[in-house]
Amino acid sequence: MDQEVIFAPTLRSECLTMTLYDADCDSQFICDFWNVVAGSNPPWTDDMLCRFMKNTTLSPHNCLGRKPTRPLVYIIHLGSQTGPAIGTINISERNPAIPPDIGYAIHSDYRRRGYAFEAAACVLSYWHNSLGLKDIVAFCHPANTISNKLIQKLGFERGGEATLEIGEVLVNAYVLPGMSVTLTAATRFGRMGVDKVE
Ligand SMILES: CC(C)(COP(=O)(O)OP(=O)(O)OC[C@H]1O[C@@H](n2cnc3c(N)ncnc32)[C@H](O)[C@@H]1OP(=O)(O)O)[C@@H](O)C(=O)NCCC(=O)NCCS
């Protein structure tokens, strides 16, 4: 029988506090934030966000046989958890057949201060050291120079490529050292993940 895993409600790093996404109070913030920061088209709505969160919650086979009770999405706060929300960081299962991927966004007013690196390093360390999970990938459009640099600074290595289904775009795929996964153009993933059947 699956063992349930409850992710840490808060993670702390030197300058930041990450709070686990709570559908009751964070949905509006995330829709607004992703619409502005990620320039999303079509725009995020409550219904889309709900579908995304359900679809991208890790399956037990991507989580050492344990069943997550929530998606692994954190709101990044500057300072304490009552400090301003400046970003999001998430580990999402876009497709049950491939390892989950890391994603992040920082509000434009707070960029270039090391916060994305700090938040990602904190979540990756939690993932590895506390949850014992080894497999995580990253996808990045080749033109997103900043994010490609950040991924490599975090220790990821090129692990092939993948196809983002919206527009059939070929993106760079990255893996962590020691992972045996190599991704190819035949590896497909969508923004909304794959619809999960209850
Ligand atoms: C990508 C993003 C999260 C970076 O956030 P950030 O907090 O500014 O990043 P950091 O300050 O932690 O920088 C980490 C590394 O990224 C790279 N980087 C960040 N900003 C950069 C810039 N303006 N120019 C070049 N490299 C940059 C550098 O390698 C930097 O390390 P360094 O400071 O040692 O040089 C932010 O630009 C963002 O939200 N972009 C829009 C959303 C997005 O593209 N998400 C990723 C989708 S794959």
What CATH number is given for 3-189 in this structure?
Answer: 3.40.630.30
- Between 31-40, 118-127, 129-138, 162-171, the lowest mean confidence (pLDDT) is in 31-40
Can you tell me which atom of ligand 1 is nearest the CA of 107?
39
Å from CA of 141 to ligand 1 middle: 14
Q: For residue 1, what pLDDT is reported?
A: 58
- Which pair of structure tokens corresponds to residue 71? 């998606």
Residue 198 has pLDDT above 70, yes or no: no
Q: For residue 175, what pLDDT is reported?
A: 97
Q: Read off the pLDDT of residues 12-56 as tens digits, 9 standing for 90 and up.
A: 999 999 999 999 999 999 999 999 987 777 899 999 999 999 999
Our answer on whether the CB atom of 173 is closer than 6 Å to any ligand 1 atom is: no
Give CA–CA dist 135/90, Å, rounded. Answer: 14
Mean pLDDT of the chain: 94
Mean pLDDT of 140-157: 98
Residue from 86, 101, 123, 150 to probe ligand 1 pocket by mutation (most atoms less than 8 Å from CB): 150
Q: For residue 197, what pLDDT is reported?
A: 77
Sign of CA dihedral 15, 20, 24, 29: positive
Our answer on whether the CB atom of 39 is closer than 6 Å to any ligand 1 atom is: no
* Annotated domain spans of the chain: 3-189
Q: Is residue 189 a contact partner of residue 168, using CB atoms and an 8 Å limit?
A: no
Q: What percent of the chain has pLDDT over 90?
A: 90
